[in-house]
């Protein structure tokens, strides 16, 4: 973990703000990180990965998230693609595809559509079987990392249920169009993906067609949620550090900002938010590593707590820095924009609340 943290620190250096403003992370840097197994570090060593457990991968994700949420978002997408392949694919598909994801190729995952956001059951992308080929038609939106991706994991409806399909971004009929000016994680390569009669070998369907859609979605989102949650711990860490350093170094009304109780409250709340989010994430990762069935609820809880805390914490950090943090490219300004989006993706606040309410009722005594 220490070595992985050091490598990612060196790769990012002090360039996260610059990438955010440019809306782009250099592609060769992403491929280098991918080739070092850093973008999906939970993949086993037999497939060229780092073989991290969920906890170790989480701590690594938090560290990356404290440096650059755009890079962490690309990492979440790559890890989610790898996990989806592992979870839904056959051993042969895993053996063929995972070494590509640990060897420098980049991947993204597309569920969402214009009319299918929180409710993915209304997904309109279709997969039809034609002999030993399949044909995909549809339009995915807001796919993180799709701008950089070599492979897209696309979810579609088909006869008998649904399917997760591995689509080369270069396949005829695939068109990737960048999302213009995203509010945050600006260098994460969000793109819309058009699929017009994309013809692929039937072996591109992970585990074969006709699986229940909720199973496919839950499998992929499990990884995405825990990864976003740890990324939010990183956002909180970066915000606490920036706010504490600034408050200790600036004097107003005759004493350092750290001597003003209302500023102390912001710092205390930031610390509490970070610690609580980290504990919720550690619990979810422990459930994951132990194979506990509690992992589903623990992951939703961790994502919900961490995203909400990151959004509030980033706002407090901007408040503490005030004008010093109020310019584009500053770490807290970037965190403020990035954190808000974490309340929307991988199950919005409201969708997480619905799932947690369901659990609260089901487990009432």
In the complex with ligand FAD, the residue whose CB is nearer, 149 or 263, is 149
Residue 228 structure tokens = 């976003």
* Cβ neighbours around 296 below 10 Å, total: 17
Residue 10 structure tokens = 């060196």
CB of 286 to ligand FAD, least distance (A): 26
CB of 85 to ligand FAD, least distance (A): 16
CB of 362 to ligand FAD, least distance (A): 18
CA proximity to 318, closest of 297, 304, 334: 334
Strands (E), the chain: 107-110, 126-130, 133-143, 151-158, 161-168, 174-178, 191-201, 251-252, 255-256
Pair 287, 294: CB distance under 8 Å: yes
CB of 168 to ligand FAD, least distance (A): 18
Query: What are the CA-CA distances from residue 260 to residues 150, 274, 322, 332 (Å)?
Result: 52, 21, 15, 20
Which residue bears the tokens 């422990």? 286
In the complex with ligand FAD, the residue whose CB is nearer, 34 or 110, is 110
Beta bridge partners of 108: 152
CB of 291 to ligand FAD, least distance (A): 26
CA pseudo-torsion sign 140, 143, 148, 153: negative
Binding residues for ligand FAD, rule: CB under 6 A, are 77, 109-112, 117-118, 142-144, 182, 185, 190, 341, 344-345, 348, 350-351, 354
In the complex with ligand FAD, the residue whose CB is nearer, 55 or 312, is 312
CB of 350 to ligand FAD, least distance (A): 3
Secondary structure of residue 208 in the 3-state scheme? coil
In the complex with ligand FAD, the residue whose CB is nearer, 110 or 209, is 110
In the complex with ligand FAD, the residue whose CB is nearer, 77 or 299, is 77
As a residue count, the chain comes to 365
Residue with the CB atom nearest ligand FAD in the bound state: 117
CB of 142 to ligand FAD, least distance (A): 4
In the complex with ligand FAD, the residue whose CB is nearer, 191 or 238, is 191
Pair 167, 152: CB distance under 8 Å: yes
CA proximity to 102, closest of 65, 66, 50, 147: 50
In the complex with ligand FAD, the residue whose CB is nearer, 257 or 344, is 344
In the complex with ligand FAD, the residue whose CB is nearer, 319 or 349, is 349
Per-residue exposure over 227-265, b if at least 16 CB sit within 10 Å of its own CB, e if not? bbbbbbbbbbbbbbbbbbebbeeeeeeeeebbeeeebee
In the complex with ligand FAD, the residue whose CB is nearer, 146 or 321, is 146
Beta bridge partners of 205: 165
CB of 165 to ligand FAD, least distance (A): 14
CB of 218 to ligand FAD, least distance (A): 14
């Amino acid at each position: 973990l220490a070595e992985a943290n050091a490598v990612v620190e060196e790769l990012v250096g002090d360039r996260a703000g610059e990438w955010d403003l440019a809306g782009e992370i250099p592609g060769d840097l992403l491929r280098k990180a991918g080739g070092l197994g850093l973008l999906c570090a939970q993949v086993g060593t037999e497939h060229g990965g780092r073989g991290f457990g969920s906890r170790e991968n989480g701590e690594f994700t938090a560290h990356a998230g404290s440096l650059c949420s755009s890079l962490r978002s690309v990492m979440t997408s790559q890890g989610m693609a790898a996990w989806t392949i592992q979870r839904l694919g056959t051993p042969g598909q895993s053996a063929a595809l995972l070494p590509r994801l640990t060897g420098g190729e980049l991947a993204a995952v597309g569920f969402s559509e214009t009319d299918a956001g929180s409710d993915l059951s209304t997904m309109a992308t279709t997969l039809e079987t034609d002999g030993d080929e399949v044909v995909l038609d549809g339009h995915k939106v807001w796919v993180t990392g799709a701008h950089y991706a070599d492979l897209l994991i696309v979810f579609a409806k088909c006869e008998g249920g649904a399917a997760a399909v591995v689509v080369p971004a270069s396949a005829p009929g695939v068109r990737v169009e960048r999302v213009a000016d995203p509010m945050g994680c600006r260098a994460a390569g969000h793109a819309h993906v058009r699929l017009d009669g994309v013809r692929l070998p039937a072996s591109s369907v992970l585990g074969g067609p006709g699986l229940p859609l909720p199973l496919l979605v839950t499998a992929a989102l499990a990884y995405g949620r825990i990864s976003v949650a740890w990324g939010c711990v990183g956002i909180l860490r970066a915000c606490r550090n920036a706010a504490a350093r600034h408050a200790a170094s600036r004097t107003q009304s005759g004493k350092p900002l750290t001597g003003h109780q209302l500023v102390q409250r912001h710092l205390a709340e930031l610390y509490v938010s970070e610690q609580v989010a980290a504990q919720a994430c550690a619990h979810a990762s422990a459930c994951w590593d132990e194979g506990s069935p509690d992992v589903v609820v623990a992951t939703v809880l961790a994502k919900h707590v961490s995203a909400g805390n990151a959004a509030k914490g980033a706002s407090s950090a901007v408040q503490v820095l005030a004008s010093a943090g109020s310019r584009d490219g500053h770490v807290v300004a970037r965190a403020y924009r990035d954190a808000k989006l974490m309340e929307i993706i991988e199950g919005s606040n409201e969708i997480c609340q619905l799932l947690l309410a369901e659990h609260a009722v089901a487990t009432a005594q």
